[in-house]
Amino acid sequence: MTPSPELAAPLLTDDDVAARVEALVGPATQDGCVWLLLVDGDRRQAPTVIPIEDSPRRPERHLTEGLRAMLAHLTDMVATAAGPGSCVFVLERLGPAEIGRDDEEWAAALDGAATGAGLGTLGVFLSTPSGVRRVR
């Protein structure tokens, strides 16, 4: 299966990353889902988008440690001569559009999981029914 041209384009800028999140996840329709997009060292998105459903309102250590371990197993798959690869995370939840303490905690925990696995983070986004915005 060949990805559509808009999904095959590399994610070279913050605007490219935000547009991809908007296209793939968009406004929230469910509560408590963390989306993971893997991006290789050439800044091309891997074809699989991973939803982690039934995520708690606040990050739990055992979950983020498990995510870090999973990402560590994927680092060789996304590494290229240009770099180690990166993650893009989207927190999908119902409720207000404002970024709250729980969202900030999730962003820090997700960034830490990626970094702990040897990957970068191209962004952590919040998806609410009002739309998508960058948390970090």
Q: Do 91 and 56 meet the contact criterion of CB atoms below 8 Å apart?
A: no
Rounded Cα distance, 119 and 108, in Å? 14
Q: pLDDT at position 33, please?
A: 97
Query: Strands (DSSP E) along 14-111, which ranges?
Result: 33-39, 45-52, 86-92
Rounded Cα distance, 8 and 18, in Å? 15
Per-residue pLDDT of the chain (136 residues; tens, 9 = 90+): 445 656 679 999 999 999 999 999 999 999 999 999 999 999 999 998 999 999 999 999 999 999 999 999 999 999 999 999 999 999 999 999 999 999 999 999 999 999 999 999 999 999 999 999 999 9
Q: pLDDT at position 24, please?
A: 96
Domain ranges of the chain: 5-134
Q: pLDDT at position 4, please?
A: 60
* CATH number for region 5-134: 3.40.140.10
Q: pLDDT at position 1, please?
A: 41
Residues 6+ apart with CB under 8 A from 129: 27, 28, 29, 94, 97
Q: Do 107 and 133 meet the contact criterion of CB atoms below 8 Å apart?
A: no
Give pTM, 2 decimals. Answer: 0.94
